Amino acid sequence: MSRHIYTLSYPASWHNEAWKEALPLGNGLTGVLVSGAIGYETLHFNRHDIWTGSDDSMDIPNVSDAIAKMREYIDRGDYESANNEVVHEALKAAGYKAKASPPCPLGYLNMTFEPNGIFRHYRRGVNMRTGEAFVRFEINGCEYLRQLFVSRDSDITVMRLCAQKPFTINYCLTLFEEANTAVINDRTIELIAKNGDTAMRVAFIGSFSSERSGDELAVTGQDYTVLIKCASHGSPLALDAYLNETYDSLLAKHTALHTPLYDSVNIELADDAEFLKTNEQMLAEAYENEASPALLERMWRFGRYLFISAANEKGNPVPLYGLWHGAPKLMWNSLVANENVQMTYWHALAGGLSYALLPLLKHYTSHIDIFRSCAKNIFGVNGIWISAYTNPYCCGATKHTHVIVNWISAAGWLCRHFWEYYLYSGDEDLLRREILPFMYEAATFYKEYAVVENGVVRIYPSVSPENTPLNLKDLNTHSLHGHPCPAVQNATMDMAIMKELFTNLLSGIEMTGMYADKAKEFREMLEQIPAYQINEDGAIKEWMHPDLQDNYAHRHLSHIYPVFPGNEVSRYSGDPKLFEAFKTAVRLRKLNRQCNWSLVHMACIYARFGEAEKAAECMDIMTKSVLLPSLMTVCNDWRGMGLTLNWKPVVQLDAIFGSVNVIQEMLLTWQSGKLSVLPALPARMKAGKVSGLVFPNGKLDIEWDNSGKTSITIYANKNMDVELFVRGEMKSRVILENGEKSILTF
């Protein structure tokens, strides 16, 4: 069991922001952070549906003339004027103020314990397979233990406190909003805090005594259980049904739902003994040398555990902080879809967690009328436009700065996730009802927004997130967020996503017959998209226009989209010169301009290149710079070690979610009928085994050892005819019917 449990030797220790290093628990609806302190413990509670800020009640004004104005500037080569917040100023002048503000914490349960001596043998951690946290220590020979989980069955938090002799803890319950009162209910011994339509209720069960003092409750016992219910939007504070249950019975109901999700795929990269090390020990070894296979496996397991704990069919999509926003007004705390939302979900389908895609699909399809209004009133075209920043209650033009409002490819990029969901699930009803209509709307936007000149598609304004061409960096524009001149023309990413979307849509039209009358128009425009261009350094150009010079000092790798996350350009097919140009473009990126998620993105790209050691090196940099002891990730290394941008250590969990995908990309990729096993296996991963990794036609198991022997078992869940590559070499053609399996050894 040790490989499923991560432990730490220290409590959360970040000064004034202990939540950054806390233990995360969750069920996709409620999230809890546990700092693990002995004397003063604060449990942070969050709900998936508590967000602040604007809603979508404000109509989006018609400012489409602003795009025509920007095009006039760009046609004249006046990029400075085009980037002086033209659309922003038009929206501002029209009185539009929508803002996708972040979620905020629900409340806190503060626990105070006065130890009667010096602690020894302190440990805290999480059993990821059960979703159960623990804090244990010893004082004067007496062992103390706190255990807790957030039930996937009942949506309550359950905590058990026990020791070898009675002890006293003082409890105080508060909500995040100041205007609330904690009430001690004398009938059942409980704490209740209410404010408007949010509330928390804490009930104590078992053998204990209590004493009330103001809003605090002192509880003395040796072994008792605490039940905590969080309520949002007026939902009931129902706990009565659980007051006669035991901790173990409630845990069993929870694990019956949580553990199968966690077990759906298994990857083992090191011996069991390696996992007896604490996180601090593993990170110290990585800091001294490189990330061990055991640390990489622990990151994979933790990222999956965290994702499962943040994703629920009944909840919202997983934002950058998951369900663990430990403070209000945190930066970038929305659904950010110019990289971060996508990275969060990259691993889910291959990792057997396809259920989590449904809230993502629901979020975007349920706001399609707003997206249509954005397309019509901002850009003057039909179809849909989606801001990079949205939340469950605000999906309009939420950030007006040109780097966001002039980026057109959020919808197209999301279509990739929804199309792949269909490929993996085979859910043709969902394809017809939700996925293909969404893809059609996104494609309609591209078709009407793009300009065809002399038989060639031109896209402008066009943004390559969030970069500015090198020769335009010094222009005196009035950027709101430090992006001097991103709105230019013909960003390679826009072209790549448009090409991918049209290709997949045409496949969907052919399968279903839907939108058949529009197929010719999409096919003709697809054929007019220009070929990717190579610059004088032999690298793929980030902007397909001779006036725009590549800027390598940037974190985004958007123009590599055809290799990853797309699969248009591959090591196994296509033009080798073009493939090499994509490699060159990645190698030229400046190391000290990267951040946590860009290192993950780069690692995934290197895995697609088949450059295993380069992919592993990206992970090494992560473990030396942006991976906290809790295994949560921060955006940048604030310590000035030169491996990332030297900026604020803002929590961004997309990087740990993306790390799950890095490991999976090293072990398996599926691209258009080509199944590649161990395509980018680093030398340090000398032996290992995998079970249950998913591809669109089935699942597979892999086992390899340090002699080079590889055993593969392929299970078909539909008829398949695929080319099998092992360690980068074509080995076999595999033809199976639904329900069959094939065992191969190389």
Average pLDDT, the chain: 94
Closest alpha carbon to 109 in 164, 146, 152: 146
Residue 80 sits at φ, ψ, to 5 deg, of -60, -50
Lowest mean pLDDT among 66-70, 196-200, 311-315, 454-458: 196-200
pLDDT of residue 178: 59
Lowest mean pLDDT among 142-156, 257-271, 292-306, 635-649: 635-649
User: Tens digit of pLDDT for each residue in 70-108?
Assistant: 999 999 999 999 998 789 889 889 988 777 677 888 999
pLDDT of residue 386: 96
Decide: 508 and 527 in contact? Cβ < 8 Å: no
Closest alpha carbon to 354 in 366, 345, 367: 345
Average of per-residue pLDDT across 366-392: 95
What is d(CA 63, CA 79) in angstroms, rounded to the nearest whole number? 20
Average of per-residue pLDDT across 48-52: 89
pTM to 2 decimals? 0.96
Q: Is the pLDDT of residue 632 over 80?
A: yes
pLDDT of residue 484: 85
Treating both helix axes as pointing N-terminal to C-terminal, what angle do 247-263 and 293-310 enclose, rounded to 10 degrees?
Answer: 110
With H, G, I as helix, E, B as strand and everything else as coil, classify residue 686.
coil
Q: Is the pLDDT of residue 155 over 60?
A: yes
Give per-residue burial for 424-453: e unless 16+ CB within 10 Å, then b.
Answer: bbebeebbbebbbebbbbbbbbbbebbeee
Q: Which residues are CB-contacts of 363 (< 8 A; sequence separation ≥ 6)?
A: 316, 317, 335, 390, 392
User: Tens digit of pLDDT for each residue in 158-212?
Assistant: 999 999 999 999 999 999 865 566 777 766 788 998 888 889 999 999 999 999 8
> How many other CB atoms sit within 10 Å of the CB of residue 730?
12
User: Tens digit of pLDDT for each residue in 387-422?
Assistant: 999 999 889 887 767 889 999 999 999 999 999 999
Q: Is the pLDDT of residue 555 over 80?
A: yes
With H, G, I as helix, E, B as strand and everything else as coil, classify residue 156.
coil
Q: Is the pLDDT of residue 480 over 60?
A: no
CA angle 134–113–202, rounded 5-degree value: 70
User: Tens digit of pLDDT for each residue in 117-140?
Assistant: 999 999 999 999 999 999 999 999
The single-letter DSSP state of residue 513 is: -
Name the band, by pLDDT with cuts 50, 70 and 90, for residue 57: low
Q: Which residues are CB-contacts of 162 (< 8 A; sequence separation ≥ 6)?
A: 144, 145, 222, 223, 224
pLDDT of residue 195: 83
What is d(CA 99, CA 54) in angstroms, rounded to the nearest whole number? 5
Decide: 525 and 518 in contact? Cβ < 8 Å: no
Q: Is the pLDDT of residue 499 over 80?
A: yes
Lowest mean pLDDT among 236-240, 625-629, 631-635: 236-240
| 175: its two tokens | 């909500």
Name the band, by pLDDT with cuts 50, 70 and 90, for residue 338: very high
pLDDT: which is higher, 218 or 180: 218
Lowest mean pLDDT among 41-55, 299-313, 440-454, 472-486: 472-486
Percentage of the chain beyond pLDDT 90 is 83
* Alpha-carbon distances of 343 from 385, 445, 491, rounded to whole Å: 20, 24, 20
pLDDT of residue 385: 97
What is d(CA 552, CA 571) in angstroms, rounded to the nearest whole number? 23
pLDDT of residue 55: 67
pLDDT of residue 287: 96
**Sheet containing 688-695, strands listed edge to edge, beginning at the edge strand earlier in sequence:** 266-268, 688-695, 698-704, 710-716, 741-745
Q: Is the pLDDT of residue 478 over 60?
A: no
- 474 burial (CB, 10 Å; 0-12 / 13-18 / 19+) is exposed
Domains of the chain: 2-51+103-263 (2.70.98.50), 61-97+367-541 (1.50.10.10)
Closest alpha carbon to 628 in 5, 3, 8, 39: 8
Name the band, by pLDDT with cuts 50, 70 and 90, for residue 574: confident
Instruction: Quote the strand ranges of 311-373, DSSP E.
Output: 335-336
The single-letter DSSP state of residue 501 is: H
pLDDT of residue 468: 94
Decide: 552 and 535 in contact? Cβ < 8 Å: no
